[in-house]
Amino acid sequence: MKQGLSLRVSQHLALTPQLQQSIRLLQLSTLEMAQEVEQMLDENPFLERSEEQAEREAFGLEQADAPVSAGEQISELATEVPEWTPSDGLSSVAVSEPSEDKTDAASPLEESWEGDGSVEMSPDDSEWGGDAPSRNNATGDDETATAAELARSDESLHAFLHDQARCLRLNEEDQAALYFVIESINDEGYLEDGLEALAESWVRMAVTHGAASSEAGIELREEVQQRLQMALNHVHHMEPAGVGARDLGECLRLQIMELRNTPEARAAMLICEQPLELMAKRDVKRLCAACGLDDTMVRQALGLIARLEPKPGRRFVNLERQVVVPDVLVTRSGRGFKVVLNPEVMPRLRVHDVYANALRQGRGGSSDAANASMQQRLQEARWFIKNIQQRFDTILRVSTAIVERQRNFFMHGELAMRPLVLREIADELALHESTISRVTTAKYMATPHGTFELKYFFGSGLGTETGANASSTAVRALLKQFIASENPKKPLSDNQLSDLLKEQGIECARRTVAKYREALRIAPANLRKSL
């Protein structure tokens, strides 16, 4: 093979570290952005919060009065949005409004479930480590709390069950079995593992810790399973009703047992013993035939079952609610709308003056390698502040373009939403479509109609008789209105909903209606039928 030299010109795109950081910051949510800022403050000594500037703004001082070093201090993000002027002058944008608005007989049941299984309680029993009041205390003592009151506190389901278990007079073995069963209940109030599996786990732990030999494991397993069954019976009579059930059917039956022995309760007990698919589909005819009940009694029993709690531990679950903090605020301003950034989500950062001046004047007394490393960290701090400013600039530009395109939504609501795709905003702002996608992900806008993700304002279009397009969001809102105003005894089918949309001039097939209905989490017509 002959060797030779050749000259070739080519182009390629290289992402610099600064550009990579800019792209990554752009796609972060508000919470992730706050975490990123905290991490940079911990890692980079040249980065600090401009608390002095925040205090000056709190007292109403002018930003120009603060000493700013053009060489070292980067333009910081002020507290009030109108005072911060980004590179393109879009700290707050007022979108004007045009002069004219443009909107386009029951079987007998066993009596064993009525009053059986009463639990002996003793308010003076301290075998579980302390005194506890009886849950049946009817003296009106203010210190006795109900399950609902305890649910509003931070007490967990297991703690509430243990409080009730302390009132039982049990020996040490039964106490241990009851404790083991309570700890095996999940947060929804169900016992996921069977008694055989729990007994096997108990015996395995006993053999591992030397409390029993392997030969005695079989006999011990039977004894443990019996004790666990007795402990589970105790749990079934505790509050909340239905706790400790192994499936939904048993949970409903345990709750019905706590009700009065009425004909509806006896009919509901029979229905819960049938396959749950019949109850879920509200197949009244098959339930009447399976339970030997008339149509009226089955409907009354289904109504009673619908009022039961399928997850007894739901009230004790301490959910950490995610509070959505909007990135953009949209308010009415005269005949238009004003778009501003939320000052609460904008970090106030600047380069540390003392460290930067010391490095510039060479007072560090360190080697050239150390100075180069510190210079790099200083440059990273500058890049970080500049990329944050660019991030908010882009968010504000995109939000302003969305408000301009969806002005009818801000005036009249979701029924006036128009079709919009990412390409339209990208072409208007001379940005790439992927950049618009990053900006609209996990970013929220507070509007007069509520807080929405920026992606909410984008949607496909459906053809109309006039040749224009209707937004899929507007079609879903129209479907919700149709279903909300329907006759509960004769709910609208998907075909009827499709015909109603055609009367409004919107071409929407039945399958599309079903897809939108499922996206709205609305049941089909046969399940929406009122009992």
Identify the pLDDT of residue 11.
79
DSSP bridge pairs for 121: 168
d(C-alpha 28, C-alpha 443), whole Å: 9
Identify the pLDDT of residue 404.
93
Peptide bond into 326 cis (omega under 30): no
CA gyration radius, the chain: 34
Amino acid at 326: P
Q: Which CATH class is domain 460-528?
A: mainly alpha
The H-or-E segment that residue 3 falls in is none
236 secondary structure, DSSP code: H
- Sole residue written with tokens 């990208």: 426
Identify the pLDDT of residue 176.
87
263-316 pLDDT, tens per residue?
889 999 998 888 888 888 788 888 898 888 888 898 888 888 888 999 998 888
Amino acid at 175: Q
Residue ranges in the chain whose pLDDT is less than 50: 53-54, 56-91, 96-153, 531
d(C-alpha 22, C-alpha 24), whole Å: 5
Give the CA angle between residues 477, 481, 484 to the nearest 5°.
Answer: 135
Two tokens, residue 310: 């399928």
Can you give the pTM of this predicted structure?
0.59
Q: How many residues does the chain have?
A: 531
Domain with CATH 1.10.10.60 in the chain: 460-528
490 secondary structure, DSSP code: B
Identify the pLDDT of residue 85.
35
CA distances to 263, 299, 379 from 276, in Å: 20, 15, 65
d(C-alpha 152, C-alpha 315), whole Å: 8
Closest to 358 measured CA to CA, from 375, 341, 336: 375
Two tokens, residue 294: 């008339």
d(C-alpha 117, C-alpha 123), whole Å: 19
Identify the pLDDT of residue 398.
95
Alpha helices in 311-449 (DSSP H): 353-360, 368-405, 407-412, 422-429, 433-439
Hey, how many other C-beta atoms are within 10 angstroms of the C-beta on 318?
A: 10
Identify the pLDDT of residue 94.
54
Supply the angle between the helices 263-272 and 284-291 in degrees, to the nearest 10: 100
> First and final CA of the chain: distance in angstroms?
88
Kindly report the three-state secondary structure assignment for every residue of 60-119: CCCHHHCCCCCCCCCCCCCCCHHHCCCCCCCCEEEECCCCCCCCCCCCCCCHHHCCCCCC
Kindly report the three-state secondary structure assignment for every residue of 147-165: HHHHHHCCCCHHHHHHHHH
Two tokens, residue 391: 């991030």
Identify the pLDDT of residue 139.
39
Q: 4: Cβ–Cβ under 8 A, 6 or more apart, which residues? A: none
